[in-house]
């Protein structure tokens, strides 16, 4: 494995996962410190849970109050450690992200993914937007300089729908069971709390 290959991180995300947002934000610092190259892969978290027989932690641990409290504590600690002052919990959570994830696939095909995903991540986790609504999503994209209406239209294409399903299945085939999931070379890492280990692994390589 060449040195360059080990410094590319693949990042599987769904906008609906606050932990994916947290990881994306925390990685910005790592990218600056290490010249890490990050490839973002849009997938559907609901699809991953369905295929793998898993469920979101807030559902799995709904009846374990101490675990729920600790997850909140870890979120607060993460926000503090990485100074994520712009975060605002989304009032529509859990948000249906099927439209927005199909839009990410469409934007990727059109070569606009690098503009698309930061705009949508900020809309859902900083500006409290309900991105499940086509007109809301279109407005966010237009504000980011994209052709919002064309992307919304493209989400209806069978090719785009299938593209999201295939990407989700491919993610599961690599071993994922939730998000965010990362691959550094072929080493898999799960969860926002692996950012520290990932940075350590990069620094040591």
Tell me which residues touch its own copies (CB under 8 A).
Answer: 52-54, 60-61, 63-67, 69-70, 73, 77, 172, 175-178, 187-188, 190, 193-194, 196-197, 200
Tokens of 83: 């100074």
CA distance 164 to 127: 25
Q: How far is the CB of 165 from its own copies (least distance, A)?
A: 17
Which tokens belong to 35? 């010249």
CB of 53 to its own copies, least distance (A): 5
Nearest distance in Å: CB 190, its own copies:
6
CB-wise, 147 or 199, nearer to its own copies? 199
Cα 18 → chain centroid: 8
* Strand ranges, E, within the chain: 8-13, 37-42, 181-184, 187-190
Q: What is the closest distance, in whole angstroms, from the C-beta atom of residue 117 to its own copies in the complex?
A: 24
SS3 105: helix
Cβ closer to its own copies: 143 or 166?
A: 166
Residue 90 in contact with residue 126, Cβ under 8 Å? no
> Alpha-carbon distance 58 to 45, whole Å?
14
Tell me the backbone φ, ψ of residue 144, rounded to 5 degrees.
Answer: -85, 0
Of 65 and 158, the one with the shorter C-beta distance to its own copies is 65
By beta-carbon proximity to its own copies, the closer residue of 95 and 171 is 171
In angstroms, what is the minimal distance from the CB of 194 to its own copies?
8
CB nearer to its own copies: pick between 65 and 111: 65
């Amino acid at each position: 494995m060449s040195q360059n290959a080990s410094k590319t991180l693949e990042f599987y995300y769904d906008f609906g996962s606050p932990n994916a947002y947290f990881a994306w934000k925390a990685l910005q610092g790592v990218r600056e410190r290490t010249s890490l190259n990050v490839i973002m892969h849009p997938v559907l978290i609901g699809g991953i849970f369905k295929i793998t027989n898993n469920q979101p932690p807030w559902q799995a641990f709904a009846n374990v109050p101490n675990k729920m409290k600790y997850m909140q504590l870890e979120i607060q600690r993460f926000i503090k450690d990485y100074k994520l002052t712009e975060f605002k919990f989304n009032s529509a959570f859990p948000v249906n992200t099927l439209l927005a994830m199909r839009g990410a696939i469409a934007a990727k095909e059109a070569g606009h993914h690098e503009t698309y995903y930061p705009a949508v991540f900020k809309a859902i986790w900083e500006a409290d937007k309900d991105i499940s609504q086509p007109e809301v999503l279109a407005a966010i994209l237009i504000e980011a300089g994209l052709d919002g209406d064309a992307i919304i239209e493209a989400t209806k294409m069978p090719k785009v729908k299938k593209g999201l399903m295939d990407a989700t299945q491919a993610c599961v085939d690599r071993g994922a069971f939730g998000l965010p999931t990362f691959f550094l070379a072929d080493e898999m890492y799960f969860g926002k709390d692996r950012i520290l280990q990932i940075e350590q692994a990069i620094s040591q390589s």
